Structure 1
């Protein structure tokens, strides 16, 4: 029937051409077709932030982003944050500050923080809090996540 479509996308610097159901979310495709299970599925309505990925560098909740919209886009998941088996500075900051507990929300938070670091902008405390406010965490408390984000931002030029 007319519900299938081939799309081309770049995920973690690797190019893919895949056939998808046009009704599938990007998170479903990343998890089921590309086996990138670091993309967590929490609320399925774009409120928890667990499924956040970077689409052309912008943090996006992939559970409410249709996969067909990703045609021609560059996507980064948590699997693409580190390089050559080494953690990124953002990942290290989250570990150093104890901002990782169960790990369910961590991939989305790391990607949002990565986008902040990559932006090159300076952020006030209030701006940082606003930027990470789309993520729900039940384990660590937001103070550790805030400290990890600040640490990653302060280390970006080192």
Structure 2
């Protein structure tokens, strides 16, 4: 009796038409990995169409959903966590005390350590910008505080500005 080929398994999933090794995604002709490569290649080949597609999708998203996604993706927190931090800070900037409603965009920025990604608190835009400009270096801030204090004393003693303007 000749060996007959093994019959196909009745529950076997159809294979990807590109790689022919992985099961295809339901409703597609390719597997996830091949589909990802196809989409990636299409985005590179059609940047204008991709940008328009992203704009259409973003237009459908409500500001609250956009905020939730940003907080989650960028800082790993929820809107509820933000609200709890804001309440703990009495609704004001942790740096200067500016009320949230008086901030540029009506909300405080989430301050976080750029190396560890740990959220530290909520700051107004000017305070957050200052930390960014000094690269979050506390020593630089202390040097600047000393500078301001000594320049103020010089100004008080001389009765003129620390820098003479001719």
Q: TM-score interval w.r.t. the shorter chain?
A: under 0.3
> Which of structures 1 and 2 has the bigger CA Rg?
2
Q: TM-score, normalised by structure 2?
A: 0.25
Q: Which structure shows the bigger proportion of residues in helix conformation?
A: 2
- The structure, 1 or 2, with the larger RCO (C-alpha pairs under 8 Å, 6+ apart) is 1
